[in-house]
Amino acid sequence: MLSGKKIEMSHHSFYALRDMIYERSGIFFPDQKKYLLENRLLRRIEDEGFDDFEKYVDFLRHDPLRDKEFSTLFDIVTTNETSFFRDINQLQAFESVVLPQIVKEAEEKGYKKLRIWSAPCSTGEEPYTLAMLLLNKFPKIQDSGWDIEIHGSDISECVLNSARRGEYTDYSIRNVPPPYLDRYYIKNGNGKYNVRPEVRGMVRLSNVNLFDNMRVKMFRGMNIVFCRNMLIYFDEAAKKRVIANIYDSLAPGGYLFIGHAESLFNISRAFKLVNINNILIYQK
Ligand X SMILES: C[S@@+](CC[C@H](N)C(=O)[O-])C[C@H]1O[C@@H](n2cnc3c(N)ncnc32)[C@H](O)[C@@H]1O
Report, in Å, the least distance between residue 81 CB and ligand X: 5
Interface pattern 182-221 for ligand X (x via CB under 6 A): --------------------------xxxx----------
CB atoms within 10 A of CB 69: 15
Report, in Å, the least distance between residue 215 CB and ligand X: 9
Cis status of the peptide bond prior to 252, with omega within 30 of 0: no
Q: Which of 237, 208, 223 is nearest to 119 (CA)?
A: 208
Taking contact as CB under 6 A, which single stretch among the options 46-54, 74-82, 96-104, 273-281 is the one that binds ligand X? 74-82
C-beta closer to ligand X: residue 120 or 166: 120
Report, in Å, the least distance between residue 189 CB and ligand X: 27
Contact flag: residue 245 with ligand X (CB under 6 A): no
Q: Spell out the SS3 assignment of the chain.
A: CECCECCCCCHHHHHHHHHHHHHHHCECCCHHHHHHHHHHHHHHHHHCCCCCHHHHHHHHHHCCCHHHHHHHHHHHHCCCCCCCCCCHHHHHHHHHHHHHHHHHHHHHHCCCEEEEEECCCCCCHHHHHHHHHHHHHCCCHHHCCCEEEEEEEECCHHHHHHHHHCEECCCCCCCCCHHHHHHHEEECCCCCEEECHHHHCCEEEEECCCCCHHHHCCCCCEEEEEECCCHHHECHHHHHHHHHHHHHHEEEEEEEEECCCCCCCCCCCCCEEEEECCEEEEEC
Q: Which of 90, 223, 229, 249 binds ligand X (CB under 6 A)?
A: 229
Rounded Cα gap, residues 61 and 63, in angstroms: 6
Q: Which of 91, 93, 98, 159 binds ligand X (CB under 6 A)?
A: 159
C-beta closer to ligand X: residue 150 or 230: 230
Say if residues 162 and 83 touch (Cβ distance below 8 Å): no
C-beta closer to ligand X: residue 152 or 254: 152
Contact flag: residue 222 with ligand X (CB under 6 A): no
Contact flag: residue 256 with ligand X (CB under 6 A): no
Contact flag: residue 254 with ligand X (CB under 6 A): no
Q: Which of 78, 162, 245, 249 binds ligand X (CB under 6 A)?
A: 78
Q: Can you give the C-alpha Rg of the chain in angstroms? A: 20
In the region spanning residues 81 to 140, those forming contacts with ligand X, defined by CB under 6 A, are 81-82, 86, 120, 122, 126
Report, in Å, the least distance between residue 145 CB and ligand X: 30
Report, in Å, the least distance between residue 17 CB and ligand X: 15
# of chain residues touching ligand X (CB under 6 A): 23
Taking contact as CB under 6 A, which single stretch among the options 5-13, 19-27, 33-41, 168-176 is the one that binds ligand X? 19-27
Contact flag: residue 249 with ligand X (CB under 6 A): no
Q: Which residues of the chain form contacts with ligand X (CB under 6 A)?
A: 25-27, 78-82, 86, 120, 122, 126, 154-156, 159, 208-211, 228-230
